[in-house]
Structure 1
Amino acid sequence: MASLKRVLYLTPVLLDTMPNAGIRKKVFGQLQALRALGYEAQLLYLHGDGLLLTNGDGEEKQFTLPKQRPLFRQWGYYDHVAKLIGNLARFSHVYLRYHVPTPAYLRFLKMVAAIEHNPFVYCEVPTYPYTREFNGLKGRAYHFLDSYYANKAGQYYDEVISFYPAKSIFGHTPILLENALARSIIDEGAAAGPREMGKQTGPLRMIGLAANLERFHGYDRVIRGMKEYLDHKTEDQRDVHLTIISQGDVFEELKVLANEFGLTEKTTFLSPRVGKDLYDIIQTMDLGIGTIARYRVELFTDSSLKTREYCAFGVPQLLSAEDRSFPKELTFVRYIPNDDSPVPVGDLVSWLEDLHQQPNWQVALYRHADEQLSWKGQMSKAFAVSHTVPT
């Protein structure tokens, strides 16, 4: 008897907005991976004033919802799912990207639990612990809902997925995954191939990325490190330049900081880019800056998407918090302390000059991306533990 292998992926997020571009890349990469693993997968997410159901490969169906503020559409999202999807019983797996639970969310979980063939339910928790992200009035409302409903919802999950080590989340020992890339991005980076890096006499070109810049990204550490380096730079030492692609209040604050330090000509601030527009810029860089101040939100491990993108396009990375996908012994990765100290730009210049002297050094980055950073490998870990449902 054949087994049913159909996944319903649910996320009450506006994936088509620029601030959520990183989430979109991740979710669609996971969807692509599920298809590669032999699953029929459909994704339902907030889109404009309604919802969009897609298989991630061109098949789409739009649903219009009553006019509501985005927040209330998120809270009522799961009330709409059962009505719009129709027969939930045709899915063998339900994959939930964690969002603050609501009464509608709990009702939906009970509905899934009542299905005769008992679909396997995953809950993915992108950041853990996440309550430090609850700020302001909306944050207090989120905190109340989470404290009341999160563990109640946990009893309906078969597995919880996390990207951060934890003994227990919602009463489950989580499956630990790493962030990854869609195979199409890895292939695009490999197709671009090795290229000439910055000349030894030209500026060291650094880049930092974030959909919406926060203090925990730590790019102020880079600017302060540049200031120290340039204040003492000799004529025979390389110049440096930093490009930051992002938006938000912290992004604007960094512009002010760079100006105060006299680094206006040494820094470039660009609005968010996606796809080819972004990757064309990454490929011109000598060093990709990861998230280097997670200690500011009491996190000490990392699994950032941008570091994987740097690797796929042959760009060495600067990290601080431990990333299990990038062990310290890799020649193209440099770790600095996960603290408030300025980035040691002079040390980075010396390290990269030595790295560039090694023959075919970029091949190691492409190979690492190919073998270690695909969503297919990560999702196979999660779905290896699920049951099969007879058709």
Structure 2
Amino acid sequence: MKNVLYFSYSDDLSDKFSGVSKKIYAQTKAIEQLNCNVLLAGNIGGLYGIVGDTERVNLRAQSLLTKKKIMFNFLIKKIKQRNIDVVYIRMIGASPRFISFLRLVKSLNVKIIMEIPTYPYDQEAKSFKGKVYNFLDRIYRKQYKGLIDYIVTFSDDDFIYDVKCINISNAVSEDSIQKNIPVKNTGILKFISVSSLYYWHGVDRFVDSIEHHINHDNNNFPFKFYIVGPNNEEMRKIRKKLEVNNKLNQFVEYLGFKNSQELNEIYKDTHIGVGSLGRHRSNIFKINTLKNKEYCANGLPIIYSENDRDLDGKSFVYKVPADESNIDINSICEWYINRCWNDSDITDFIINYTWFSQMKKVFKTISGGGL
């Protein structure tokens, strides 16, 4: 039985609204089902520690360098205390301190796996601080070869930074797959976008397309677009547009943050999931997203603009161009009304993409083909 340390740096594991935290817990549960002992370490409400343990280190009010020094020292102590065999890292940007940490872990004869959630990611940084971190990452990630055993990626790459890749898909926990999708009233078609509302999600593009639609097209199908996510800069821009356009405001509604239970209830009355519509803005054209799989787990057909090897070509997927063109709302509504799939087609598809099946690929690879 392997002892595994899974750790994240910035994701708040106590945040019940976070899709990333939900994914991390689902992954660690899947690893446990593979007959491994798993320690999950991360930020827990501002304190860093192991989930389920009482020992914590305080990272509040510390500089970034000091935070990482404290965190890495804490993790090394736990690796030694718990006889860890495998360290699974949710990506951290490369830096001198991170490279030193990797070297020390390797000296303890521990296998190192790092998951890169989005690749390539260089174009995602927009702030000055983000660009500085990205500059450091570009310099020091060249040293990953020989330190990191495998990079887990959702892309099609065989090697990233000269490190062998394990290619998996984003997935869902089996217990999140809805077995009985309720019959939905189609008097008003309801679209939903659930995201962290970054610019590459392209929620603004869908809102702009709705505005173009109500100004220039016949509104053949009554519809409403619901937005779930943080009230950040991107959302504030959208809300400002809604405030000055009463007509548009009738078609778009911001719901704020919702937890998993609340989302499940909303999904029961929703018809179409809106995936990323702006990944081209960060120069990404191939990606395998978590949110599309979560929509599928709730029986929702999806619209998106990227290339997704798991979903492209499915009858319940509507692809839009990966550019800034207006999206044809009438065409999407007509596609749904005249749909050629059943809800069970979507949930039958997603059962092949559980975290257990995906993490099994990872641990089978690092074990040389056996578990």
**Cα distance change, pair 361–251 in 1 and its aligned pair in 2 (3 A):** same
Q: What is aligned with 1:106? A: 99
Q: What is aligned with 2:322? A: 338
- Amino acid paired to 1:180: A
What is the CA–CA distance in structure 1 between the aligned matches of 2:17 and 2:135, rounded to whole Å? Answer: 24
SS for the counterpart of 1:154 is coil
Q: What is aligned with 2:127? A: 136
What is the CA–CA distance in structure 2 between the aligned matches of 1:221 and 1:167, rounded to whole Å? Answer: 33
What is the CA–CA distance in structure 2 between the aligned matches of 1:233 and 1:239, rounded to whole Å? Answer: 13
How far is 1:64 from its partner?
3.0
Q: What is aligned with 1:362? A: 343
Question: Comparing 24-33 with 76-85, which one deviates more in the overlay?
Answer: 76-85
Q: What is aligned with 1:28? A: 25
What is the CA–CA distance in structure 2 between the aligned matches of 1:281 and 1:271, rounded to whole Å? Answer: 13
- Unmatched 5+ residue regions in structure 2? none
How far is 1:263 from its partner?
0.8
What is the CA–CA distance in structure 2 between the aligned matches of 1:122 and 1:171, rounded to whole Å? Answer: 14
Cα deviation per residue 1:77-101 (whole Å; 9 max; x = unaligned)?
A: 212211345425x222111111113
Is 1:290 aligned with 2:275?
yes
What is the CA–CA distance in structure 1 between the aligned matches of 2:334 and 2:298, rounded to whole Å? Answer: 22
Tell me the TM-score normalised to structure 2 length.
0.91
- Amino acid paired to 2:29: Q
Q: What is aligned with 1:180? A: 171
Contact 2:27 2:359 (C-alpha < 8 Å) held by counterparts: yes
Contact 1:14 1:48 (C-alpha < 8 Å) held by counterparts: no
Contact 1:216 1:293 (C-alpha < 8 Å) held by counterparts: yes
1:82 to 76, 82, 104: 76
Contact 2:41 2:49 (C-alpha < 8 Å) held by counterparts: yes
Identity of aligned residues (%): 23
- Amino acid paired to 1:361: N
Contact 1:150 1:170 (C-alpha < 8 Å) held by counterparts: yes
What is the CA–CA distance in structure 2 between the aligned matches of 1:50 and 1:351, rounded to whole Å? Answer: 48
Cα deviation per residue 1:150-200 (whole Å; 9 max; x = unaligned)?
A: 1223321111111123353121232222111122212xx22xx1212232x
Q: What is aligned with 2:229? A: 246
Contact 1:122 1:160 (C-alpha < 8 Å) held by counterparts: yes
SS for the counterpart of 1:273 is coil
Q: What is aligned with 1:52? A: 49
**Cα distance change, pair 78–270 in 1 and its aligned pair in 2 (3 A):** same
How far is 1:242 from its partner?
0.5
SS for the counterpart of 1:61 is coil
Cα deviation per residue 1:25-73 (whole Å; 9 max; x = unaligned)?
A: 111111011112221111111223422313xxxx443413365337346
Q: What is aligned with 2:84? A: 91
Is 1:376 aligned with 2:356?
yes
What is the CA–CA distance in structure 1 between the aligned matches of 2:349 and 2:276, rounded to whole Å? Answer: 20
1:37 to 34, 50, 55: 34
**Cα distance change, pair 250–303 in 1 and its aligned pair in 2 (3 A):** same
How far is 1:20 from its partner?
7.7
Q: What is aligned with 1:387? A: 367
Question: Comparing 129-138 with 301-310, which one deviates more in the overlay?
Answer: 129-138
Q: What is aligned with 1:14? A: 11
Is 1:218 aligned with 2:202?
yes
- Amino acid paired to 1:378: Q
SS for the counterpart of 2:163 is coil
2:310 to 313, 320, 325: 325
SS for the counterpart of 2:41 is strand
Contact 1:13 1:74 (C-alpha < 8 Å) held by counterparts: no
What is the CA–CA distance in structure 1 between the aligned matches of 2:16 and 2:144, rounded to whole Å? Answer: 28
**Cα distance change, pair 5–107 in 1 and its aligned pair in 2 (3 A):** same
- Unmatched 5+ residue regions in structure 1? none
Cα deviation per residue 1:320-355 (whole Å; 9 max; x = unaligned)?
A: 101122131x22111111111111111111111111
What is the CA–CA distance in structure 2 between the aligned matches of 1:21 and 1:87, rounded to whole Å? Answer: 30
Contact 2:206 2:327 (C-alpha < 8 Å) held by counterparts: yes
2:152 to 143, 149, 161: 161
**Cα distance change, pair 369–303 in 1 and its aligned pair in 2 (3 A):** same
Is 1:64 aligned with 2:57?
yes
What is the CA–CA distance in structure 2 between the aligned matches of 1:311 and 1:34, rounded to whole Å? Answer: 23
**Cα distance change, pair 14–222 in 1 and its aligned pair in 2 (3 A):** closer
Contact 2:191 2:226 (C-alpha < 8 Å) held by counterparts: yes
Alignment map for 1:251-262 (pairs within 5 Å)? 251-261=235-245, 262=247
SS for the counterpart of 1:173 is strand
Contact 2:172 2:294 (C-alpha < 8 Å) held by counterparts: yes
Contact 1:52 1:63 (C-alpha < 8 Å) held by counterparts: yes
